[in-house]
Amino acid sequence: MIRTIKIYIYASLLVLGTYFQLKRVQKSVNQLTKEEIFIQPRSVSRKVMKRTGSMVMVNGQEKLPKGPVLFVANHQGLFDILTLLGHLGKPVGFIAKKEIQKLPIIASWMELVHCVFIDRTDRRQSVKAIHQGIENLKSGHSMVIFPEGTRSRGSSLNPFKLGSFQLALKANVPIVPVAIDGTYQMFEERNGRISPSWVTLTIEDAIFPEEYNGKNSSEIAEQVQSVIKRRLQIDGADDRMTSSGDQQVSTT
């Protein structure tokens, strides 16, 4: 537990250390590229992941399409967001719970990378948030969704909720399935104690609008879920440690 507390303190100090950079970015946001704004969120995420002792293996980064995309990822654990921010290889915003808006500095950075905060208890606000996500995509900002809606806290995959797929359908952008494996072993499996894990982040082939146009949300969700499920079943622990090919091991 002491180690876990030290990691929380370390992460908090890292976030506090970005305060002055945050103010500089806010003042000149219109003159900066998405990549320049994203430097700090990516750096902090990588440093925290490294401090946990975890290794992140990234597969398929060369498959990333140019331009905005909707990333659809499974949601194993608390560290999924840091894994994606630090290692996905593209600036992204998230559909995030409204409670995160209460976190100083973090919420401001999230706004800068075009995250959308959603109140799932308020249907009208949820619809408004989805529309904002669609506008973000149309404006050139990639988004990440976790269609399971909540953490699976293990290697299983919960059913996908259909509403979030409207972001791709309305914005007419590629859908990129992303399989995350191993993050639940960092926190959820340890009863709230942070432990190192071997995490794999696999970027699958993009599904372009011309491939999914004519399908409804249910059909698209089933297709994407099938891709992620297949990847999670294939990548056992031994395979992750010995596989080769289109992969990149990230430790910083």
The pLDDT confidence band at residue 241, using thresholds 50, 70 and 90, is very low
- Paired residues of 56 in beta bridges: 199, 250
Distance in angstroms (rounded) separating the CA atoms of residues 232 and 245? 18
Average the pLDDT over 127-132 and give the result.
91
Distance in angstroms (rounded) separating the CA atoms of residues 235 and 159? 20
- The per-residue pLDDT for 252 is 36
- The per-residue pLDDT for 112 is 97
| 120: amino acid identity, one letter | R
- The per-residue pLDDT for 245 is 36
Asked whether the predicted pLDDT for residue 240 surpasses 60, the reply is no
To the nearest 10°, report the CA torsion of 153, 159, 160, 162.
-140
What are the two backbone dihedrals, phi and then psi, of residue 21, each rounded to the nearest 5 degrees? -65, -40
Asked whether the predicted pLDDT for residue 26 surpasses 90, the reply is yes
Q: Is 247 exposed, middle or buried (0-12, 13-18, 19+ CB in 10 A)?
A: middle
Close Cβ partners of 55 (under 8 Å, ≥ 6 residues apart): 196, 197, 198, 199, 249, 250, 251
Of 16-30, 42-56, 102-116, 229-243, the one with minimum mean pLDDT is: 229-243
Asked if residue 82 lies in contact with residue 90, where contact means CB atoms within 8 angstroms, the answer is no
The pLDDT confidence band at residue 163, using thresholds 50, 70 and 90, is confident
